[in-house]
Chain A
Amino acid sequence: MKSLTAIPGAPPLIACFCLLLGWELLARWIGLDSLPPAWETLKSLPAILKDPRSLYDILSSVRRMATGFALALAFAIPIGLLMGRSRKVAAFFNPFFMIIYPVPKAALMPIIMLWLGIGEASKTLVIFLGVSLPVIYHTYQGSKAVGEKLLWSGAAMGMTPLQRLFRIVLPAAMPEIMVGCRTGLVLALITMVTSEMIVRQAGIGNLLFNSLDLAQYEAVYATIIIVGVLGFVLDLIFEKLRGIVVGWADPVHQIAVGSA
């Protein structure tokens, strides 16, 4: 007999179900107005997803997130590669990145808004800042660990430094870069939601607090579920992508948690 847990995808689904069940029971037991039961919340989900305004908020948030993430990758991966291949570049950037590492990026939002205004630019910039560091770090670690012998062999076969970078270093560092991208993706979502919650102007974070101010508690929890599902799905897609791009590498056990 095939065990239920052997079906791919089943354990997370069961886990979701158990979490929702626990929530439902807790809500019924406490009976607090501000903690609606899970079922009521789920029922209010379609209404939010059908409402063009909130849908627009969600989609524009996702678009900003994607832009910030893509820009961060375009910036961070080359820097990480340079740092990994040159001790001097690494020594140049390392202390700087170490100092800005504990700065809460989303907290820069009010200051950046002073400079760039309240438009798309400041929101995207904050996401860009939040994503860059982990991607740089992992790319650096990955490209640093490339075997010297591989590079020597490449050089002996007449490859130019540029060819070696693209044909040897980049593929060899790819698994680690993907780890960085995955952390970065989660961080992009976190930074996006956080910065929107701080400035309360547009997007999902605003949606959350609007419903909170209007005491539409089901909508608050439903939006939380939307954000949660977004995080889970993005992570899942990325995991699949990782399997396609670097399926040859061992899955890296890593801590895919971060914070803005």
Chain B
Amino acid sequence: MIVNRRVAEIIIGAIPILMLLGLWEYLTVTKIAPPTLLPSPGAVFMRFVQLLGDSNFLGHAGVTLYRLFCGFGLAVIVGVGLGIAGVGSPLIGSLLRPVIRVLAPVPKIALYPAFMLTLGFDHASKIALVFADAMFPILLATYQGALAVDTKLVWSARAMGMSRTKALFTVVLTAALPSILTGCRIGLIISCIVVFLSEMISSTDGLGHLLVRAARNFQTVDMFVPIIAISALGLLLNAGFNALRTRLLRGFPEES
């Protein structure tokens, strides 16, 4: 019964996606939209598959991935570190809160010109932007998660002779893990999007640059491929991260 319902829901859920593809195909087949403006889904898909075997394309994708993971990795280290430190020390916490309050709603992408001016046009400025954008959700999630940890857990650990710092890293960090991982997942998707945008704004390589190059040459098919590639990458990373999360959180109470 429940299985039937899930199958039905999957079928219902497939309808809008298929409808969109159908509309796209219809517009191209009937030539309502000229192929120079809207290539057929088949053409885009074939080009995507073809490029997946192209070493040049994979090189661009590799550059994008490198920037993504450097920025995201830094953001996780700094975000989790600062978040835990902010809970561990009231002084750091009271310093941190106003700074977050001011900086969190600021569109980090506006800092990109500043990064370009100070860090140059190569990897560093893009990594810095990814870091700045991904850090805040991770920091906030860590801070809020760590604040919500039951103080009794810390007291118990302290009563058993654990040092403050050790309790912070073994008890609080672990207990806040669900929240931290949620923050990281948001940060990961943001990194994925931001790295692509930064490459579109100014770059000579990477998937974002491929899109801009195609747009300049009016190669519509090649404009769709990088967008599909980065979105697929986002979905893949998200799924991978969810799998990792379930593994890490085995034994934690189920979170809604």
The answer to whether A and B come from one shared complex is yes
A residues at B contact (CB < 8 Å): 5, 11-12, 14-16, 18-19, 32, 34-35, 87-88, 91-96, 99-104, 106-108, 110-111, 114-115, 186, 189-190, 193-194, 197-198, 204, 208-209, 212, 217, 220-221, 223-224, 227-228, 231-232, 234-235, 253, 255-260
Most B C-beta atoms less than 10 A away, residue of A101, A107, A198, A232: A107
Asked if B220 CB lies within 8 Å of chain A CBs, one says yes
Assembled-state Cα–Cα distance A34/B116 (Å):
9
19 A–B pairs (Cβ distance < 8 Å), ordered by A: A12-B101, A93-B16, A96-B17, A99-B235, A102-B234, A104-B230, A108-B227, A111-B215, A111-B220, A115-B37, A186-B105, A186-B107, A197-B112, A208-B113, A228-B107, A235-B104, A255-B137, A257-B133, A259-B108
A95 pairs with B227, CB closer than 8 A: no
Interchain residue pairs A-B with the least CB separation, the first 4: A102-B234, A15-B98, A95-B13, A235-B105
CB-CB < 8 A to A223: which residues of B? 110
Is A255's CB under 8 angstroms from B215's CB? Answer: no
A189 CA / B9 CA spacing, docked (Å): 35
- Assuming A96-B13, A190-B109, what are 4 further A-B pairs, CB within 8 angstroms? A104-B196, A209-B113, A220-B117, A259-B194
A220 to B17, CA, bound (A): 42
Task: Choose among A16, A194, A231 the residue that contacts B105 (Cβ–Cβ < 8 A).
Answer: A231
CA distance A253 to B112 in the complex (A): 28
B106 at the binding interface (Cβ < 8 Å): yes
- Which listed segment binds A: B47-55, B168-176, B185-193, B246-254? B185-193
B105, A234: Cβ atoms closer than 8 Å: yes
The residues of B with any CB-CB pair to A shorter than 8 Å are 8-10, 12-17, 20, 37-38, 94, 97-99, 101-114, 116-118, 133, 136-137, 140-141, 144, 183, 186, 189-190, 192-194, 196-197, 200-201, 208, 211-212, 215, 220, 223-224, 227, 230-231, 233-235, 238
Question: Are B227 and A104 within 8 A (Cβ)?
Answer: yes
Contact call A111/B223, Cβ cutoff below 8 A = yes
Q: Is the CB of A35 within 8 A of B190?
A: no
Contact B114 A11 (CB under 8 A): no
Q: Given A102-B193, A257-B136, A260-B197, do A91 and B215 touch, yes or no (CB 8 Å)?
A: no
**Inter-chain contact A232/B12, CB cutoff 8 Å:** no
Give chain B nearest CB distance to A46 CB in angstroms: 20
The residue from B13, B108, B196, B211 contacting A94, defined by CB atoms under 8 A apart: B13
Residues of A within 8 A of B103 (CB): 19
Q: When chains A and B are docked, how far (Å) is the Cα of A88 from the Cα of B32?
A: 33
Inter-chain contacts of A12 with B (CB < 8 A)? 98, 101-102
Q: Are A232 and B230 in contact (CB under 8 A)?
A: no
Whether B99 and A35, one on each chain, are in contact in the complex, defined by CB atoms closer than 8 angstroms, is no
Nearest-CB residue, chain B, relative to A34: B117
User: Is the Cβ of B105 less than 8 Å from the Cβ of A193?
Assistant: no
Task: Please state if B102 and A15 are interface contacts (CB–CB under 8 Å).
Answer: yes
A191 to B112 CA separation, bound complex (whole angstroms): 14
Given that A11-B101, A107-B200, A197-B109 are known contacts, is A88 also in contact with B211, CB under 8 Å in the complex? no
Q: Decide if B102 touches A114 in the complex (CB within 8 Å).
A: no
Contacting residue for A92 out of B15, B37, B137, CB 8 A: B15
A26 to chain B, nearest CB (A): 9
CA distance A223 to B13 in the complex (A): 44
Q: A96-B17, A221-B114 are in contact. Are A102 and B189 (CB under 8 A)?
A: yes
Q: Are B13 and A91 in contact (CB under 8 A)?
A: yes
Chain B residues with Cβ below 8 Å from A11 are: 94, 97-98, 101
- Chain A residue at smallest Cβ distance from B224: A111
Instruction: Give the docked Cα–Cα distance between A32 and B120 (Å).
Output: 12
Closest chain-A Cβ to B48's Cβ sits at a distance in Å of 15
Taking CB as reference atom, which chain B residue is nearest A186? B105
Contact A257-B104, Cβ < 8 Å, known A102-B235, A110-B212? yes
Q: How far is the CA of A198 from the CA of B197 in the complex (A)?
A: 8
Min CB distance B141 to A, Å, is: 6
Q: B109: which of A16, A93, A115, A260 is its contact (CB, 8 Å)?
A: A260
Q: Is the CB of B211 within 8 A of A110?
A: yes
B223→A258 contact, CB < 8 A: no
